[in-house]
Amino acid sequence: MTNTADTPSDNPRREDNDSTSHESEHTVFSAEISQEITDAVRQLSESNPAIGQLLKSIDGKEAVRELTTVAISVVKEHHSGPTPSGRQLREYNAIFPDGANRLFTTVEVEQAHRHEMEKKIFDYNMSRLQMQQDVQLGELSLKKTSLQVVADRDARSQYFAGGLSLIVLCVGVWLISLQHVEAGVALIATNFIGIAAVFLTQRFKKSEEKEKAKSGPEPD
């Protein structure tokens, strides 16, 4: 007869779900069960002499031997948990002084180390994410500053060009008033041609930039 028992964890310090599961299969040798059956037969014989005489007969001994062979062949104890079962802990204590406590200490140290490493990894990932966000914000700020600088430069250029054109126009009108009509008209015409050329050039550049943006980056 095979006796299989599912033994729950006797560990009062049950770890949390992230603990490494400790699974064990413990075999109790038949000699231990044989001794228990022998003691039980002796007690039965002492309490009831008639049954004792029957068990001491050849047939009785053969029956006890067959029963013992079947009953004590093997007993398996299954346990699943972060630490060994209570039976194993008692055996550890029997073999090693304070073995169970040393085992628990080792498990707790390993778990604390694992939690510390997980915390370090989490902190590292968070700092890396924060660094990436800072870099992105820095790039956006740099682009914004660059665009603002370009806009300010273009505005200054336009103001300067407008002021210069106004001065040239005034000079042209002044020359015409002094009866230098050809020189004044030529100066004013040159001024307007220059303004038109600048305007057309800027318009052409903007159109070209829009076409590049629509077509995407050029292949290598």
Q: State pLDDT tens for residues 9-67.
A: 444 444 444 444 444 444 445 566 677 778 888 887 788 888 778 777 887 788 777 77
Q: What is the structure's pLDDT at 135? A: 92
Q: What angle do CA 111, 115, 117 make, to 5 degrees?
A: 115
Handedness of CA 49, 52, 56, 60 (dihedral sign): positive
Residue ranges per structural domain of the chain: 3-120, 161-211
Most trustworthy range by pLDDT among 46-60, 69-83, 116-130, 170-184: 116-130
Q: Please give the residue that has the higher pLDDT: either 44 or 215.
A: 44
Confidence of residue 105 (pLDDT cuts 50, 70, 90): confident
| Burial tier of 125 (Cβ tally within 10 Å: 0-12, 13-18, 19+) | exposed
| Burial tier of 152 (Cβ tally within 10 Å: 0-12, 13-18, 19+) | exposed
Kindly give, in sequence order, each residue whose CB lies less than 8 Å from that of residue 217, ignoring residues fewer than 6 positions away: none
Q: What is the structure's pLDDT at 130? A: 93
Confidence of residue 214 (pLDDT cuts 50, 70, 90): low
Q: What is the structure's pLDDT at 26? A: 43
Q: Please give the residue that has the higher pLDDT: either 210 or 187.
A: 187
Q: In what order do the strands lie in the sheet with 75-81?
A: 3-6, 75-81, 22-28
Partners of residue 28 on adjacent β-strands: 75
CB 20 within 8 A of CB 106: no
Q: What is the structure's pLDDT at 17? A: 42
Instruction: Tell me the pLDDT of the chain averaged across its residues.
Output: 74
| Burial tier of 87 (Cβ tally within 10 Å: 0-12, 13-18, 19+) | middle
* pLDDT tens digits, one per residue of 79-101: 566 666 676 777 777 887 887 78
* pTM, to two decimals: 0.37
Average pLDDT for residues 142-170, to the nearest whole number?
82
132 Rama sector, left if φ>0, alpha if ψ -120 to 50, beta otherwise:
alpha
Does 114 have pLDDT greater than 80? yes
- Tell the residue number behind the tokens 């699974």, with chain if given: 23
